Amino acid sequence: MKRSREKAASELFAALYPRLAGWCRRLVDDDETAHEIASEAFTRLWARWTSVAEPRGFLYVTAANLVRDHWRKLERERRAMHRVTSEAAVRPHPEQADPSVRLLVQSLPERLRVPILLHYYADMPIREVSVLTGRKEGTVKADLHAARELLRVHLRRSLDHTS
């Protein structure tokens, strides 16, 4: 039994790791970090191997959460560096966000962020996002629409502040 479990895990790793690591690479823009995140997702899957019904979905949702944690860490580091390097410099618009799409996606609530990451960044069809997240297709479509509207508003606001 243990041998077949290891064989199944090995085959799953060979089939999914390159795509998962590539997806993470596009999100974090760093090879080493992408491989760390993909490896950690597989480690967490292995720890729950017998209780996970949909391994691929588990991997992508876990990796999305790890990417979010990575983005948060980078933001904390950026803020700390900003505090250290600037003496009492105050931004004219403290509410103004960085207009980069990555940071805007990062700021979305998880309910909206995960479908965006899976559909647009992992190129998964809505049907598959529905299965992986355990939500109805209509709910996924509504969440994607709501996320796009939020991103549109944030981008417009960011662009208005820069002009």
**3 and 68 share one domain:** yes
Evaluate whether 89 touches 100 at the Cβ level (below 8 Å): no
State the pLDDT at residue 91: 44
> Hey, what are 71's tokens?
């983005």
State the pLDDT at residue 109: 87
> Hey, what are 37's tokens?
């995140």
Rounded alpha-carbon distances, angstroms, from residue 58 to 5, 15, 35, 151: 17, 15, 17, 26
**4 and 43 share one domain:** yes
CB atoms within 10 A of CB 133: 18
Evaluate whether 28 touches 34 at the Cβ level (below 8 Å): yes
> Hey, what are 46's tokens?
């292995």
Range of the domain at 6: 1-90
State the pLDDT at residue 159: 72
Residue type, 30: D
The number of folded domains in the chain is 2
State the pLDDT at residue 23: 94
State the pLDDT at residue 60: 93
**8 and 43 share one domain:** yes
Tell me the CATH number at 116: 1.10.10.10
**108 and 77 share one domain:** no
State the pLDDT at residue 162: 62
State the pLDDT at residue 111: 87
List the one residue out of 61, 77, 76, 75 whose CA is nearest residue 23: 61
What is the DSSP secondary structure assignment for residue 96, as one 8-state letter? P
State the pLDDT at residue 45: 94
Evaluate whether 94 touches 51 at the Cβ level (below 8 Å): no
**81 and 22 share one domain:** yes
Final residue belonging to a domain, choices 60, 90, 120: 90
Final residue belonging to a domain, choices 90, 115, 130: 90
What is the DSSP secondary structure assignment for residue 49, as one 8-state letter? G
State the pLDDT at residue 80: 67
List the one residue out of 67, 40, 159 whose CA is nearest residue 121: 67
State the pLDDT at residue 90: 45
State the pLDDT at residue 79: 75
Length of the chain (residues): 163
**Tens digit of pLDDT at every position of the chain (163 positions):** 567 878 888 899 999 999 999 999 999 989 999 999 999 999 999 999 889 889 999 999 999 999 999 988 888 777 766 665 554 444 444 444 445 777 788 888 888 888 888 888 888 889 988 888 889 999 999 999 998 888 888 888 777 766 5
**52 and 105 share one domain:** no
State the pLDDT at residue 140: 93
Long-range contacts of 138-142 (CB under 8 A, 24+ apart): 140/115
Please give the model's pTM, rounded to 2 decimal places: 0.60
